[in-house]
Amino acid sequence: MATAVGKKFPNISVNAMNDMGDTFQINVLEEAVNNKKKVLLFWYPKDFTFVCPTELHAFQAALPEFEKRNTVVIGASVDSAEVHFAWLSTAKDNGGIEGVTYPLLADTNRNLSEALGILDSTEVYDEETQTISKEGDDVTYRATYLIDEEGTVFHEGVNHMPVGRNVNEFLRLIDAYAHVQSHGEVCPANWEEGKEA
């Protein structure tokens, strides 16, 4: 199947939770199009693991930079909204993510992660019992999507479970794309805002 890049982001609403304990629904495509914002959506495998938190804190720390670039940050996993809130309420020292203020998608029914093809499971058919089961935990890889104000995906990146992300690289990609948006030119490699294109 083809990459999500160059197409509209899937038009799917997902449960979400924030640090206030509010439960609500987010449709990423509408978030971009209706608010004329860019969106950075990043997925991680599971709540309450000890390494992931560093990524969530790193995105939190960079929030002002994303805002400067008219970009909304949204985190996502397949854990429930209740679990998200429990983690958001756990102190950083205890492996929690207290202090994170951007919303977290609770894609428990995998509607969105399935559409994006970023789950780590494969369906296997058992001839004997004539049933289909899943091999793997059915949680998501570390996938990141950059979506523009029209809802079009302009970057898709997927890291294997143990490989963390570099927040600055996403800022660079947003700058590069914004440069193309305003200057209508193809962007050179390694280009960074402020440098000569």
Give, as ranges, the residues between 4 and 63 that touch a second copy (CB under 8 A): 4-6, 11-12, 15, 46-52, 54-55, 57-59
Q: What is the dihedral of CA 165, 178, 27, 79, to 10 degrees?
A: 10
Closer residue to a second copy (CB): 20 or 189 = 189
Stretch that binds a second copy, among 29-37, 63-71, 72-80, 97-105 (CB under 8 A): 72-80
Assigned token pair, 5: 């890049």
Q: How far is the CB of 163 from a second copy (least distance, A)?
A: 5
Assigned token pair, 22: 């509010």
Closer residue to a second copy (CB): 34 or 111 = 111
Catalytic residue (one of 4, 28, 33, 52): 52
Grouping H, G, I as helix, E, B as strand and the rest as coil, residue 85 is: helix
The size of the interface with a second copy (CB under 8 A), counted in residues, is: 81
| C-alpha to C-alpha distance for 74 and 85, rounded to whole angstroms | 15
52 catalytic? Reply is yes
Q: In sequence order, what are the residues at sequence separation of 6 or more whose Cβ sits closer than 8 angstroms to the Cβ of residue 26?
A: 13, 14, 16, 74, 103, 105
Q: How far is the CB of 31 from a second copy (least distance, A)?
A: 18
185 binds a second copy (CB under 8 A): yes
Cα 8 to the center of its chain, rounded Å: 15
> Which position among 189, 194, 195, 196 is part of the footprint of a second copy (CB under 8 A)?
189
Closer residue to a second copy (CB): 37 or 178 = 178
Closer residue to a second copy (CB): 72 or 81 = 81
- What would you measure as the largest C-alpha separation in the chain, in angstroms? 64
Name residues contacting a second copy, limited to 110-169 (CB under 8 A).
Answer: 110-111, 115, 117-122, 129, 131, 133-134, 136-139, 141, 143, 152-169
> Which position among 72, 83, 97, 100 is part of the footprint of a second copy (CB under 8 A)?
83
| C-alpha to C-alpha distance for 174 and 192, rounded to whole angstroms | 10
Q: Which residue has the tokens 């998608």?
A: 105
Closer residue to a second copy (CB): 4 or 72 = 4
| C-alpha to C-alpha distance for 141 and 158, rounded to whole angstroms | 7
> How many other CB atoms sit within 10 Å of the CB of residue 142?
20
- For the annotated catalytic residues, the residue numbers are 52
